[in-house]
Structure 1
Amino acid sequence: MSTTKKATEVGVFIPVGNNGWVASVNAPPTPGNYEHNLQVTRLAEQLGFDFALSMAKWRGYGGPSRHWDTTLESLTTMAALAQATSSIKIWGTVHMMIFPPAVVAKMVSTIDQISNGRVGLNLVSGSNPHDLGQLGLWKPLDHAGRYELADEWIKVVKRLWTEDRVDHKGRFYELTDCMSNPKPSRPPTLICAGASDRGFQFTIDNCDASFFTASDDDASLQRGKRAKELAAKAGKPEFKSYGLFTLIPGETDALAQARLDHFDDGVDRIALATQTAEYSSDVSAKQNFAAQYFIDQGARVSSVLGGAMTGSAETLARRVARTIIEAELDGITLIVPDFIEDLRFVGERVLPLLEEFGVTTRAGATTRAAA
Structure 2
Amino acid sequence: MAKPFHLAWFMNFSVDEWNAPFASGGKPWNGQFYVDMAKAMERACFDYIMIEDTLMISDAYGGSMEAYLKYALMGPKGDPAPLAALIASQTSKMGVVATLSTMAYPPFMLARLCATLDNIAEGRFGWNIVTSGENHAAQNFGMDELPPRQQRYDMADEYVQLVKALWGSWEPGAVVLDRETDTYADFTKVKPINFEGKFFKSRGPLNCVPPVQGRPAFVQAGGSPRGRQFAAETADSIIAAASGVEAMKEYRDDIRKRAAAAGRDPDEVKVFFIVQPILGETDAEAKAKFDRYVGSPSYIAKTLSVIASVTDIDFSQFDLDKELPPLTTNGEQGSLNAFAQWGSGKTLRQLTVENATWGLEGVVGTPETVADRMADVMEQVGGDGFLITSPFQRVSRQYINEVCEGLVPALQRRGVTRTAYTKSTLRDTLKEF
Task: Normalising by structure 1, report the TM-score.
Answer: 0.85
Instruction: Please provide the CA RMSD for this pair.
Output: 3.1
Paired position in structure 2 for 1:43 = 40
1:122 and 2:128 correspond: yes
Paired position in structure 2 for 1:166 = 193
What is the deviation of 1:85?
1.4
Among 242, 263, 279, the alignment partner of 2:272 is 242
**In the TM superposition, what whole-angstrom CA distance separates every residue of 1:138-172 from its partner, at most 9, and x where no partner exists?**
75221211110110111011000002312122222
Once residues 275 and 23 of structure 2 are traced to their aligned partners in structure 1, the CA distance between those partners, rounded to angstroms, is: 20
1:290 and 2:335 correspond: yes
Contact 1:15 1:37 in 2 (8 A): no
Paired position in structure 2 for 1:341 = 398
Once residues 16 and 69 of structure 1 are traced to their aligned partners in structure 2, the CA distance between those partners, rounded to angstroms, is: 10
Paired position in structure 2 for 1:204 = 232
Among 267, 275, 279, the alignment partner of 2:298 is 267
Structure 2 counterpart of 1:289, which letter?
G
Once residues 134 and 80 of structure 1 are traced to their aligned partners in structure 2, the CA distance between those partners, rounded to angstroms, is: 27
What is the deviation of 1:280?
4.2
What is the deviation of 1:312?
1.2
Among 207, 214, 219, the alignment partner of 2:247 is 219
Aligned residues: 359
Once residues 84 and 174 of structure 1 are traced to their aligned partners in structure 2, the CA distance between those partners, rounded to angstroms, is: 36
Paired position in structure 2 for 1:369 = none
Paired position in structure 2 for 1:325 = 379
Structure ID, larger Rg: 2
Paired position in structure 1 for 2:114 = 108
Q: Could you tell which deviates more after superposition, 85-94 or 220-229?
A: 220-229
Contact 2:89 2:120 in 1 (8 A): yes
Q: Could you tell which deviates more after superposition, 105-114 or 189-198?
A: 189-198
What is the deviation of 1:358?
6.3
Once residues 130 and 38 of structure 1 are traced to their aligned partners in structure 2, the CA distance between those partners, rounded to angstroms, is: 30
Give the fraction of aligned pairs with identical amino acids, expressed as a percent: 23
Structure 2 counterpart of 1:10, which letter?
L
**In the TM superposition, what whole-angstrom CA distance separates every residue of 1:307-343 from its partner, at most 9, and x where no partner exists?**
2531111221111112222222223221135442223
Once residues 40 and 134 of structure 2 are traced to their aligned partners in structure 1, the CA distance between those partners, rounded to angstroms, is: 32
Once residues 132 and 293 of structure 1 are traced to their aligned partners in structure 2, the CA distance between those partners, rounded to angstroms, is: 24
Once residues 80 and 350 of structure 1 are traced to their aligned partners in structure 2, the CA distance between those partners, rounded to angstroms, is: 26
Paired position in structure 2 for 1:54 = 51
Once residues 176 and 364 of structure 1 are traced to their aligned partners in structure 2, the CA distance between those partners, rounded to angstroms, is: 39
**Secondary structure class of the residue paired with 1:54:** strand
Question: Judging changes above 3 Å, is the alpha-carbon distance between structure 1 residues 180 and 284 closer, same or farther for their aligned structure 2 residues?
Answer: farther
Once residues 51 and 326 of structure 1 are traced to their aligned partners in structure 2, the CA distance between those partners, rounded to angstroms, is: 24
Contact 2:80 2:98 in 1 (8 A): yes
Structure 1 counterpart of 2:333, which letter?
N
Structure 2 counterpart of 1:148, which letter?
D
Contact 1:351 1:364 in 2 (8 A): no
What is the deviation of 1:125?
2.0
Contact 1:25 1:263 in 2 (8 A): no
1:93 and 2:99 correspond: yes
Paired position in structure 1 for 2:411 = 354
**In the TM superposition, what whole-angstrom CA distance separates every residue of 1:249-271 from its partner, at most 9, and x where no partner exists?**
11122211221222221325544
Paired position in structure 1 for 2:210 = 183
**Secondary structure class of the residue paired with 2:199:** coil
Structure 1 counterpart of 2:2, which letter?
K
Question: Judging changes above 3 Å, is the alpha-carbon distance between structure 1 residues 343 and 5 closer, same or farther for their aligned structure 2 residues?
Answer: same
**Secondary structure class of the residue paired with 1:351:** helix
Specify every segment of 5 or more residues in structure 2 that has no aligned partner in the other structure, as ranges.
58-64, 170-190, 314-327, 342-346, 423-433
Question: Judging changes above 3 Å, is the alpha-carbon distance between structure 1 residues 82 and 364 closer, same or farther for their aligned structure 2 residues?
Answer: closer
What is the deviation of 1:293?
4.7
Question: Judging changes above 3 Å, is the alpha-carbon distance between structure 1 residues 132 and 249 closer, same or farther for their aligned structure 2 residues?
Answer: farther
Question: Judging changes above 3 Å, is the alpha-carbon distance between structure 1 residues 307 and 360 closer, same or farther for their aligned structure 2 residues?
Answer: same
Specify every segment of 5 or more residues in structure 1 that has no aligned partner in the other structure, as ranges.
366-371
Once residues 162 and 21 of structure 2 are traced to their aligned partners in structure 1, the CA distance between those partners, rounded to angstroms, is: 41
